[in-house]
Structure 1
Amino acid sequence: MPEKKIFTDSGIEIRELYDANSLQGIPPLPPPGEFPFTRGVQPDMYRGKLWTMRQYAGFSTAEESNKRYHYLLSQGVMGLSVAFDLPTQIGYDSDHPLAEGEVGKVGVAIDSLEDMQTLFKGIKLEDVSTSMTINATGFILLSLYVALAKQQGADLKKLTGTIQNDILKEYAARGTYIYPPKPSMRIITDIFEWCSQDLPKWNTISISGYHIREAGSTAVQEIAFTLSNGKAYVKAALEKGLDINVFGKRLSFFFNAHNDLFEEVAKFRAARSMWGRMMKELGATDPKAMMLRFHTQTGGSTLTAQQPLNNIARVTVQTLAAVLGGTQSLHTNGYDEALSLPTEEAARIALRTQQIVAFESGAAGTVDPLAGSYFVESLTKQVEEEAWKLIGKIDAMGGSVSAIEQGFIQDEIARSAYDYQRQIERTEKIIVGVNKFQSTETNTTPGFKIDDSIRQVQSEKLAILRRQRDHAKCDQLLQLLSDKAGSEENIMPTVIEAVEHKCTLGEIADTLREVYGEYK
């Protein structure tokens, strides 16, 4: 009888047995905290400080999201992660015709500084680390956050947090872009430059593999495409004359955690090693500029609407993968997210999952606990080798921007997504409760619903704002922004001044639409 072949989701064959011979050709690894950081970016990892436990939240109005943030902070969340609705993500105010039906649906609606004030009411920005999942309009949301911090009297040098600000993966996998690639890259390097001087502890970008994976990529593709995008951002910043040893320390990454526990751990370890080497080749000499620091979110696309309570087990496995792989912060999905935004109960269980792994499982007790495993070390090497091959192909095309423009990355992701779905349909891959172990019971999990009247509420707030602000000053600042966008001057100081004088997100985005056009 022929031996059964088993493969990871990336197509790497898993042998029946691994032994000492499996480690041939793998040199001894330096300790954690030392280049190339395969074993972790800190010598003591979680013994010194646990990962930041975040819960991604944002829905409806700023008032409703603020209530959820206060609840999560009371339950032990260490950092907030803000989800924005689609109009906010693509630069439309809530009263814009294209916003109809989408206001407050997949995140919170933010139109102006007044919404940002409400969103963080009762929360001192200097005391909390905030991650904002925002890309095309990241420069506007960061400006709103900075304007609010200044109103609170915060020391900008102490503000900590992250904006996702990763536009390349939007073209490749997600779709919430506004401007063409080149002006989008210019905005990103303006953020790098401004933050390096005025907001030094802020992570200026979270180079995201998460959405690449959600779109259907494999683990190998996730790190290959993400690190290639990272390389493109670094090169753009170097061309602007920025110091890699300064901006390199503020680059962060955002990865997915799926169900194949050992491949995911190998992926995280390989990514650290690869980025360390990549940054060294690009000219970094400060070890902190070579460290791959990353946030992880458990896999939304792995959650099933069938038997949704099974998702608690899936999220637990994924949490372990992230922790054993050395993540710096983590969001765990609610078990009901295949059905709707998470209910308060689901968000609490997701947070408790992290706390149980942190305080009861023993997984945080030692650094890189799977190091030296015949299987894990061998798999880490294989994942890294396959990812380097893909990066080589992208480099040969001229880098990520060219590979996206040629459709290479999009085609690779689509092919992997198709193959994965075919495996499920043929039951070559078992998804419990979906293609095996099904149940005839009717799902009774309550969903979280958003009322369409939110658009009216936001529109009324905008009407009042526009009546009460200084029109002449707003017009002057928007014209100044247009002039700066057409020059080589940094746009960030003008955007911050514009939001302080109550220019809206949509007005600022439209001003740049007139200068740069829209990407089709």
Structure 2
Amino acid sequence: MADNKLFSDFAPQSTQEWIDKITKDLKGADFDRKLVWRTNEGFNVQPFYRLENMDDKAFMNTYPGDYPYVRGNKKDNNNWLVRQDIIVKDVKEANATALDIMNKGVDSIGFVLNWKDLSKEELSTLLDGIFLDCVEINFEKSHGSIELIKNLEAIATEKGIALDKLNGGVSIDINSGFSTVGNFCSSEEDSFKFVKEALVASKALPNFKVIAVGGNLYNNSGSSIVEELGFSLASGAEYLSRMINAGLSVDEVAPKIRFNFATSSKYFMEIAKLRAGRMLWAQIVKAFGASNEEVCKMFVHGETSEWNKTVYDPYVNMLRTQTEAMSAVLGGLDSFTVKPFDSVYAESSVFSERIARNQQLLLKEESHFGQIADPAAGSYYIESLTESIADEAWKLFLAVEEKGGYLAAFKAGFVQETIKATAQKRDLAIATRKENFLGTNQFPNFGEVLETLSEEVLSPEDKTADNAVCKTLKPYRGAQAFEALRNKTDIYAKKNGRPKVMMFPIGNLNMRKARAQFACNFFACAGFDVEDHNGFTSVEEGVKFVTEKNAKIVVICSSDDEYATIAPELFEALKGSATLVVAGAPACADELKAKGIENFINVKSNVLETLKAYQADLGI
């Protein structure tokens, strides 16, 4: 019995046999149209994968910690640093916060300076009591990065800390700055000269990163995963090329670069993105002449995406950030930040920061995600996604290189237009609910009211300078259009009352219930006062009820067959006192339109534009 293989009594089935069985079960439906997923990333995802799909993947023969690092930089674990950012308004207060959160499980700190320059004394106060050889220290939005690096080295030396034990970085990202502003602070030459000087200043700190590659900018501007990765690789290659041309070696530059990626809700693809990214970056660095494979490692800091976060029903953001954190750490990275669920619309509270922190600690300490090297290895699906994402990102990288590199491609508009095209597709998918935002464009919280949302919260982030030489990237959230729609109703309702939308269920019980539920969720997305009913036995009874309720919109919910007679009767009975809407796309739609019934809602409707039109009709 010990020699028997599991399932040896069952005959093996070929891929074609599986396809034949699935095709039969589809009962005539097209296999590709029904089951094959065409992604925004530019490739198809099959409904199933098998061992034979692994045959041509060379990276499958490597081990964790081995070049090209598709399986991770570490040989025997998947550990990462839990990072939390602190906005530095006062150095003493920021220091107290850092000491507090380190006692609560954080081992990576990000001090956000907001372009404030720190003296050595201020930096010393900020770092007081922090064991610099035990905790990663990062500085974001710093003007005086070179002076900061020198002061940090001096403070560490004074404390007797070995400089190779100092981890963290200053995050200089000239390319992202140009991509959001449209120009350089001084000149292009001076900007990259500053990068070189910062690299030289950090030579004594071998594990302290200097250059940041902001892939999160592309993600939060609506890009696909392939675009985020492809443009990030191009930006990283631009830094390598510029610094090598300035007299530094690839061995001096590559270990000083850290990629900052944002993680979206595409769970398996985000796992594959990081695996593909390490593989491609290793090949790029090697092509630049790295002296050894260790130099080819990609260092990654991840954070939860802002693009898919919502203001309405914000606690749902916790679900989003949890799956994002899971996929990021399973994909393998060096550090990760879970942004608090309320960060897109408010200054985060102690509660929201604690929840965000603990989301990672649960994965690390209770789920043990950090203990298994390359936990995604061997999944036919994820291995195939890794290859597909790598292939498409490489094509995009080469397209950018053909245009002269990242900055040349950006000045020519290629980067912006590519991301804009994808973002527009995603916006349409949100408007038509092919891409769902729970609590915003699908299943909203009917009773939620927000009257104080600022224009900043509801609009894209535009930092374009007056002297911009090209179009820029403007980060935004996919839910903003729906949030602006609903907030418009909230503000209107404060003085004018909330417009009433009444369901008019009649006839077939199953159909009326299903369509009433659909219509309730549809109109609640605009913040209307939606009310359902158990069902009317006659048109006369229903009209009396909705008239007493002062309904502005009446949605008839019934079966297609019954619409042909009931809808015209209801339309006549209302006598224009309310707008009549038919829930569904009945075959008799043209006949109903000929009788004056013009409003229909169904699963193919552009929800956003339809609700905007009803708002306009109601004078909102």
Does TM, normalized by the shorter one, top 0.5?
yes
Check conservation: 2:213, 2:235, Cα contact below 8 A. yes
CA separation in 2, counterparts of 1:374 and 1:153?
49
**Alignment correspondent of 2:137:** 130
Check conservation: 2:436, 2:442, Cα contact below 8 A. yes
Deviation at 1:364, TM superposition (A): 3.0
CA separation in 2, counterparts of 1:443 and 1:199?
51
CA separation in 2, counterparts of 1:431 and 1:70?
37
Deviation at 1:151, TM superposition (A): 6.2
**Structure 1 residues 374 and 156, CA gap change in structure 2 (3 angstroms):** closer
**How big is each residue's C-alpha offset from its partner over 1:161-191, in whole Å with a ceiling of 9 and x where there is no partner?**
1121111122224679523333211111222
Deviation at 1:282, TM superposition (A): 0.8
**How big is each residue's C-alpha offset from its partner over 1:465-494, in whole Å with a ceiling of 9 and x where there is no partner?**
xxxxxxxxxxxxxxxxxxxxxxxxxxxxxx
**Structure 1 residues 393 and 11, CA gap change in structure 2 (3 angstroms):** closer
CA separation in 2, counterparts of 1:216 and 1:180?
29
Unaligned 5+ residue runs, structure 2?
1-28, 454-466, 470-620
Deviation at 1:353, TM superposition (A): 0.7
CA separation in 1, counterparts of 2:40 and 2:143?
31
What RMSD in Å do the two structures reach over aligned CA positions? 2.6
**How big is each residue's C-alpha offset from its partner over 1:372-407, in whole Å with a ceiling of 9 and x where there is no partner?**
211111111110111111111111111112112222
**Alignment correspondent of 1:36:** 68
Check conservation: 2:140, 2:171, Cα contact below 8 A. yes
Which has more radius of gyration? 2
**Alignment correspondent of 1:10:** 41
CA separation in 1, counterparts of 2:120 and 2:448?
44
**How big is each residue's C-alpha offset from its partner over 1:201-247, in whole Å with a ceiling of 9 and x where there is no partner?**
31122322112211222111111111111111111221122232233
User: Match of 2:169, SS?
Assistant: strand
Which of 17, 25, 35 is equivalent to 2:56?
A: 25
**Alignment correspondent of 1:510:** none
Which of 184, 187, 194 is equivalent to 2:194?
A: 187
Deviation at 1:327, TM superposition (A): 0.8
Matched, 1:423 2:429: yes
Q: Look up the equivalent residue of 2:406 and give its one-letter code.
A: S
Within 5 A, what are the aligned runs for 1:174-213? 178-196=185-203, 198-213=204-219
**Structure 1 residues 178 and 143, CA gap change in structure 2 (3 angstroms):** farther
Matched, 1:256 2:262: yes
User: Match of 1:164, SS?
Assistant: strand
Matched, 1:139 2:146: yes
**Alignment correspondent of 1:293:** 299
**Structure 1 residues 300 and 174, CA gap change in structure 2 (3 angstroms):** farther
**Structure 1 residues 443 and 413, CA gap change in structure 2 (3 angstroms):** same
- Matched residues, number: 424
Which structure ranks higher in relative contact order (CA pairs < 8 Å, sequence separation ≥ 6)?
1
Which of 127, 131, 140 is equivalent to 1:120?
A: 127
**Structure 1 residues 224 and 344, CA gap change in structure 2 (3 angstroms):** same
Deviation at 1:369, TM superposition (A): 1.8
Higher alpha-carbon deviation: 413-422 or 375-384: 413-422
**How big is each residue's C-alpha offset from its partner over 1:287-327, in whole Å with a ceiling of 9 and x where there is no partner?**
11101121111112222111111111111101111111011
Identity %: 26
**Alignment correspondent of 2:109:** 80
**Structure 1 residues 210 and 326, CA gap change in structure 2 (3 angstroms):** same
Higher alpha-carbon deviation: 360-369 or 207-216: 360-369
**Structure 1 residues 180 and 443, CA gap change in structure 2 (3 angstroms):** farther
Which of 356, 365, 369 is equivalent to 1:359?
A: 365
User: Match of 1:245, SS?
Assistant: helix
**How big is each residue's C-alpha offset from its partner over 1:106-159, in whole Å with a ceiling of 9 and x where there is no partner?**
xxx545445434433433444432112236653354345445546656554543
CA separation in 2, counterparts of 1:71 and 1:8?
43
CA separation in 1, counterparts of 2:80 and 2:102?
16
Q: Look up the equivalent residue of 1:65 and give its one-letter code.
A: A
**Structure 1 residues 180 and 426, CA gap change in structure 2 (3 angstroms):** farther
TM-score, normalised via structure 2 length: 0.64
CA separation in 1, counterparts of 2:221 and 2:409?
17
Matched, 1:51 2:67: no
CA separation in 2, counterparts of 1:192 and 1:81?
20
Check conservation: 1:170, 1:177, Cα contact below 8 A. yes
CA separation in 1, counterparts of 2:346 and 2:117?
21
**Alignment correspondent of 1:165:** 172
CA separation in 1, counterparts of 2:57 and 2:135?
41
CA separation in 2, counterparts of 1:138 and 1:7?
44
